[in-house]
Structure 1
Amino acid sequence: MPGISRREVLLGGAAALAAAATGAVAASRANAVDLTLRASMLRHSILPGTTTEGMMSFHADGPPPVLRLPQGKPFSIDVVNELEEATIVHWHGLRIANAMDGVPYLTQAPIAPGNSFRYTLAAPDAGTYWYHPHCNTLEQMARGLTGVLVVEDEEDPGFDRDLPLNIRDFRLGSDGQFIELFKPRNAARGGTLGTVGTVNWEVAPTYDLAAGSLVRLRLAVTDVTRVGTYDLEGGTALVIALDANPLAQPIAPKGIVMAPGQRADIALRVPDSAGDIVSLSLRTPQGPRLLARFRPLGASIRRRLDELKPLRPNPIPQADLANAETIDFIFGWSPGGDAPAPSICGTLGYTFWSINRVAGQSDIPGPGEPLAVLKQGRSYVLRLRNETPNDHPIHLHGMSFRLLRSDKRKVAPLVTDTALLLSKETMEVALVADNPGDWAFHCHVIEHQRTGLSGYLRVEA
């Protein structure tokens, strides 16, 4: 065997040191976090001249921040619980690994006060999403813990500005303080509406936008209850995506029906003149309620909507309808009405609703049997039947589905994660069970979810 020179030994030592350094860098990167969110209490002004006590946020001085994630790349978020109660965070609409979905006991233990949890999200789909707690859900969301999440398009569509709009109510009295967050009578019906409508925690804010520019408005309804119809008036605008998925044919931004959990992306061409104000409003029995205004500013830059690149479809698999199995789900009253089991995540103290005649017991260890067991890679048609006189936005975690048909109305073949099921309506939706795990399946009127209208689907590999 040839001898080894001193130079080779030194080079070997250098290589070993380099390897060690590389390993240290890799370990350092593995332990790195992209963002830290701290759930905490705060005081904040919502109504003019008042300061609301007992609010909650992931930001020390105001509403939860807009999170921006790269499409298809891992992004780590540390959630630190500085509240005096347990919490957890769900990333609404993201098709991510089950362990990162943020549902108590179904995917992880609740985050106890003073503790933290690291979520690593690799979102395959671009678009507008949002995030919120799934523990003591009604109280924490009602007090402010709802934020907008954006997965950036890999290819820039060409907007001059991207403006997320967190649309939600608060239940406040005239003194600016919280009133009772829900009423049992309303929870057994359509839900308890808020008293103060806000956009990004402001009442009827005005946004200055460059005249003649192209702006992407990202509307996210993060409310706990309200099903509403929204109109954008002024300028030239088109709805280009719903629930994060691009529309093959954009539509006018008039009469946009959105329930809690749903989103709409609007491409707005801002008017050229400072006097031409664009407004976003909510239809109410008393007439339109102004939510936000958009005011042209400066000399027009004279952009055109046709300069925008079309949004690319998200990589969501198409169901094989010819070979799909149909599974029925009935959304109705609770057959029993027993008090819910105690939970570290709290209860509302009532059981009013059920899926397939079973009232869901949310947020407890051992959450019972799944509503259905799906095989990974198989196609399914879910037949959703609403026996009640109330509307229910039905949300499925971890997967997206396509609307097929309804017995009450014509539905567009939209891809979504939250479908609004109207009173007494039966709707069929299709999906490919492409994401293994136990996935929460519930109404996103939070009073309904927390009083029985919840369960989960299991996807087995």
Structure 2
Amino acid sequence: WYHPHCNTLTQMGHGMTGVIVVEDPADPEFDAEVVLNLRDWRLGGDGQFIAPFRPRDAAKSGTYGTVRTANWHREPQYDAPAGGLVRLRIAVTDVTRIFSLKMEGADATVIAIDGNPVPKRFPLDLLQIGPGQRLDLAVRMPDGEGAVATLEDIRGTAPKVIASLRAVGSSLKRNIGDLGPLAENPVRKADISAAEQIPLVLSATAENTAVESICGTLGYSFWAINKVPWPGDTPDPTAPLAELKLGKSYIFNLENTTPHAHPIHLHGMSFTVISSSTREVMPLVTDTYLIQPDEKVQLAFVADNPGDWLLHCHIIEHQKTGMTSYVRVS
């Protein structure tokens, strides 16, 4: 997906996000495909944009929108062949909202996360994905004409309908178990035994006025990586978090000491999730990890892309109030 990285909160909040689908001709055959761009809008009673954030919320989980949509519509519905297999591609391009997704009225299987096939497919019983993350589902449509399958967000006090799929025509009687595999992306595997460890501690910071940076500031500093909010109050406030050698393996030892979840995103490279202190994890290949409060996780990768690569929380208020840095690969 794509979005701007300057004046980010306002421009993304006003709708400048989109999805790019790169198709593999060797992918298994689906009977329909639906792409969902999930995002909120901060609108007042008159339908006009209101302030994109509130400082008291930016210092917590973020400022939520007042209108939630999929593809710019409230609870849109799409037709799909009865008894068929639908590839549902989901991108959370919101600036704040973390979703707890569930499917009602149909069987849904997770086949890819963040553009990479999962090592082992699993049913969508309940899955959290945050801003910046993508999800591919194989949905087996109900057999009856007119039956509806509903994608819901159950995070919060009451389930919210995101979008729905309506069965049309005679049943195709497809079976998810017959769906062939997705090809792996060409991501180099890290040498865990030789990997260098890099500590990354996510924390809150004492509220103070943020330093003006190249893309401006929200005027506050609430968050930090390794105790330094961006841009840091250090001898070189724009120095890289780490300098990595091209082709070498590394492990991010990521620790969340805050009471809030953070979708941490690395530009330019993908990592593999190898362990968590709070749960059993699948070795997912991804570029964004939704780290839970008080969780410690290990993310392994090969520094195979030269350049300066941003590392940040994809809750944009957290990014813009300190939880940002970058690594240099050379």
For normalisation by structure 2, the TM-score amounts to: 0.95
Query: Which consecutive residues of structure 2, in runs of 5 or more, have no partner in the other structure?
Result: none
The code of the aligned residue for 1:369 comes to A
Matches within 5 A, 1:76-87: none
- Over the matched positions of the two proteins, sequence identity in percent amounts to 51
The corresponding residue for 2:271 is: 401
Q: CA deviation at 1:342?
A: 5.1
CA contact 1:354–1:454 (8 Å) conserved in 2: yes
CA contact 2:119–2:283 (8 Å) conserved in 1: no
CA contact 1:169–1:223 (8 Å) conserved in 2: yes
2:164 match: secondary structure: strand
The corresponding residue for 1:119 is: none
Higher percent of residues as helix = 1
Distance 2:266 2:297 in 1: 15
The code of the aligned residue for 2:91 comes to A
Query: Which consecutive residues of structure 1, in runs of 5 or more, have no partner in the other structure?
Result: 1-129
Deviations 1:408-438 (A, max 9, x none): 2222211110001111221111001111110
Q: CA deviation at 1:250?
A: 0.9
The corresponding residue for 1:140 is: 11
The corresponding residue for 1:265 is: 136
The code of the aligned residue for 1:182 comes to F
For normalisation by structure 1, the TM-score amounts to: 0.68
User: CA 1:448–1:322 in 2, change beyond 3 Å: closer, same or farther?
Assistant: same
Matches within 5 A, 1:272-351: 272-334=143-205, 337-341=208-212, 343=214, 345-351=215-221
User: CA 1:240–1:209 in 2, change beyond 3 Å: closer, same or farther?
Assistant: same
User: CA 1:284–1:381 in 2, change beyond 3 Å: closer, same or farther?
Assistant: closer
CA contact 1:335–1:357 (8 Å) conserved in 2: no
1:449 match: secondary structure: helix
Distance 1:174 1:230 in 2: 28
Matched, 1:224 2:127: no
Matched, 1:359 2:249: no
Matched, 1:445 2:315: yes
Distance 1:306 1:390 in 2: 37
Distance 1:327 1:248 in 2: 25
1:148 match: secondary structure: coil
Aligned partner (choices 57, 67, 72) of residue 186 of structure 1: 57
The corresponding residue for 1:196 is: 67
2:208 match: secondary structure: coil
Distance 2:279 2:173 in 1: 40
Instruction: Tell which structure's C-alpha radius of gyration is larger.
Output: 1
The corresponding residue for 2:254 is: 384
User: CA 1:295–1:336 in 2, change beyond 3 Å: closer, same or farther?
Assistant: closer
The corresponding residue for 1:236 is: 107
Distance 1:377 1:274 in 2: 54
Distance 2:237 2:91 in 1: 30
User: CA 1:217–1:249 in 2, change beyond 3 Å: closer, same or farther?
Assistant: same
CA contact 2:79–2:166 (8 Å) conserved in 1: yes
CA contact 1:335–1:354 (8 Å) conserved in 2: no
The corresponding residue for 1:415 is: 285
Matched, 1:156 2:32: no
Q: CA deviation at 1:314?
A: 1.1
CA contact 2:27–2:183 (8 Å) conserved in 1: no
Distance 1:313 1:367 in 2: 39
CA contact 1:351–1:452 (8 Å) conserved in 2: yes
CA RMSD of aligned residues (A): 1.7
The corresponding residue for 1:62 is: none
Q: Which has the higher contact order (CA 8 A, sep 6+)?
A: 2
